[in-house]
Structure 1
Amino acid sequence: MIFIENENNTNPRLNLALEEYALRNFSAEHDYLLFYINEPSIIIGRNQNTLEEINHEYVDKNKIHVVRRISGGGAVYHDYGNLNFSFITNHDIKSLNNFKKFTAPVIKVLKSLGLDAELKGRNDIQVEEKKISGTAQFSTGKRMVSHGTLLLDTNLGEVVNALNVKMSKIESKGHKSVRSRVANISEYLKTPLKIEAFRQLLLEGLYEESEPFESYHLSAEEWQAVHKLKEEKYDTWDWNYGRSPKFNIQRSKRFPIGEIDLRIFVEKGYIKDFKIFGDFFGKEPTENLEALLIGNRYEKEGILEVLKDVDVKEYFGDIGKAEFIELVYGGS
């Protein structure tokens, strides 16, 4: 495994651009590990409606970055007390959505620090029923990234201040507040630990899980390409905010795989626009599924016909086609 040096950059747009550039361009003959720490920011899941996930007034006033990532899942808050890790490997269908495989070496390091850490739910690392890490994945079909957060000493009050967390998510977890569900790793450490020291301990612990690491510093040309990706994608309003549609029908439901929230614009009986939001994890981009439905009549028979050869699990994970069609149109 090769460790990618991010040269201590803390701009979330640059770090996400670096991650995607490495995923799409670095040699498939090697696995890669990337660590990064971001300035205060909200990182939005690929399929989420940004405008409904953030507290706009608070975000603007406090100059918090808002950036969409390429993987699914929910919105998360980053700051200087949060360490992000990213494994970049070849695509393997058995590894996709297998969060246990990629979190196991991280959990081992946490246990060595005295934390009774374990993977729970879909994709959370928890200690004493409190979340200290969330993870997500994205696959190009050839390569995949499995990345996550580690809350060492983040400002948890900002999680509540900066994010608008939907009641359906809170209720589904049986808790009254976001703050009650998350904790910092520092709360469980006997000796205080700076983020830099924590980063080094984690890196050394991961070394033990693999062949000796080698570090890689990007060339000037590679950094130029990363900055270009940042400017053309991660700096743009269209990428970070631009999926918010005009709609006259909203249908949403929380499944075991996450929430699916549909915004449908129907005019004279035809689907003029169709947008899918949510915190689910899927392999295929939902834009492809949306495109299939646009232009068709908003009727069950027509929807069934359009989707007859579509495997919806590719877009959402383990959900049946009948369940999705019922969400789109209703009825049994």
Structure 2
Amino acid sequence: MSNLIVINTSFNPWYNLALEEYLLDKVTDYDNILFLWQNANTVVIGRNQNAWRECRTELLESEGGKLARRSTGGGAVYHDSGNLNFSFILPRSSQDFLIQAGIITKAVGKFGINAYVNGRNDIVTDQGKFSGNAFTYRKNRALHHGTVLVDVDREKLGRYLQVSKEKMQIKGIKSVQSRIVNLKEYDSGITVERVRDAIMQAFVEEFGQCEIADCSKEIDIFDRKFDMAEVHRTYEIYSSWEFRYGEAPKFDIEWANRFSWGEVVIHLTLKNGVIIKSRIYSDALDELFIANIRQCFDNVPFKKKDMAEAVVKQHPDSPMAKDIAEYILSKEM
């Protein structure tokens, strides 16, 4: 079994996400890969989210920040130099969220911090959440990535992110800032570099010895190991306005509901009683499910029964599809 640790020094979110996708899709010589990276003053939204709904985009960009869209599901997060991102890329057959999350809890445990998995994708302490996690899959490979809040700027996080009232009510919180905790609050001596080293050590303890590609020590290591032309082609996609923002939402009807597995926002444009255009946005972790139903109401009559049937038809065995159908049938129209 061969393992690889990749350490990048770029703070550009579009480049980091492009490199991550390259490691997932193109680097097949290693069983287990750990990619450690950081972004500067960035809001990263989930694959199926509406940028304008999740982020104060004009404020972010006016203050020199960047908006990025990742390949995984889940909600919007704020990244700055006080946050460390990790990506586990593993064989799909052997990936296990609890094992990977255990690497993170073991790493922070080296600083005397007791951390554990809570809910569908969070790693927390008794004082709050410091790591949100998300996932995507290929035929034979899996990606699990997440954040580690070491010393994130809470004020900017609260100003840039727009969290729905429904989500805060369900989570029992007054603001997005009150839900999180920085590891530095436990020990003023904790730094991103020390946490990075602890995660690397825990990864080696779990999977065995690793080859290391660290561009801070070998400036041309990526050029020698990877096809950087391919990475830059993917970068052009991640950095494009079309990918990050998509089509500006114009619609006649908006429905929003939070289910146990995430929030769903449905936009409908009508003509003569028929839905001529639809979009579905969500922070659900199952990004493929949302992607597959995003336009399922197109050309469907604006009637509850027809709409419920349309979403279930896409995924007849999915509990999530049935939840959405039941919600539609409950609407007053």
Check whether TM > 0.5. Answer: yes
Measure the CA separation in 2 of the matches of 1:313 and 1:171. Answer: 30
Number of the residue aligned with 2:160:
162
Alignment-derived partner of residue 26 in structure 1: 27
Matches within 5 A, 1:119-158: 119-158=117-156
Matched, 1:261 2:265: yes
Q: Is the Cα–Cα contact under 8 Å of residues 135 and 145 in structure 2 kept in the other structure? A: yes
Amino acid aligned to 2:173: H
Residue matched to 1:105: 103
Partners of 1:331 and 1:175 in 2: how far apart? Answer: 27
Provide the rounded CA distance (Å) in 2 between the counterparts of 1:157 and 1:144: 34
Structure 2 residue matching 1:141: 3-state secondary structure: coil
For 1:215, the equivalent position in structure 2 comes to 212
Percent sequence identity over aligned pairs: 31
Any unmatched runs of 5+ in structure 2? 214-220
Correspondent of 2:284 among 280, 285, 291: 280
Number of equivalences: 323
One of 247, 251, 275 as aligned partner of 2:251: 247
Distance apart, 1:28 and its partner CA: 6.7
Question: Structure 1 stretches of 5 or more lacking a match?
Answer: none
Paired with 2:205 and 2:101, the residues of 1 have a C-alpha distance of 15
Q: Is the 8 A contact 2:307 2:325 kept in 1?
A: yes
SS at match of 1:306: helix
What are the equivalent positions in structure 2 for 1:1-332 lying under 5 Å apart? 2-27=3-28, 30-92=31-93, 99-189=97-187, 192-216=189-213, 217-219=221-223, 222-231=227-236, 233-284=237-288, 286-311=290-315, 319=320, 321-331=321-331
Please give the alpha-carbon distance, in whole angstroms, between the structure 2 residues aligned to 1:171 and 1:323: 20
Write out per-residue CA displacement over residues 100-157 of structure 1, whole angstroms, 9 at most, x where no aligned residue.
Answer: 2321111112122111111112111111140111111111233221000000111111
SS at match of 2:75: coil
Question: What amino acid is aligned across from residue 242 of structure 1 in structure 2?
Answer: G
- Contact between 1:13 and 1:230, CA under 8 Å: does it hold in 2? yes
Deviates more, 1:3-12 or 1:269-278: 3-12
- Tell me the TM-score normalised to structure 1 length: 0.90
- Structure 2 residue identity aligned to 1:284: L
- The AA in structure 1 aligned to 2:298 is I
Task: Give me the whole-angstrom Cα distance separating, in 1, the residues matched to 2:106 and 2:125.
Answer: 13
**Alignment check: 8 A CA contact 1:252 1:327 kept:** no
Distance 2:264 2:67 in 1: 22
State the secondary structure of the residue aligned to 1:253: strand
1:295 Cα shift? 1.5
* 1:283 shift after superposition: 5.0
Kindly report the root-mean-square deviation, in angstroms, between the aligned alpha carbons of the 2 structures. 2.2
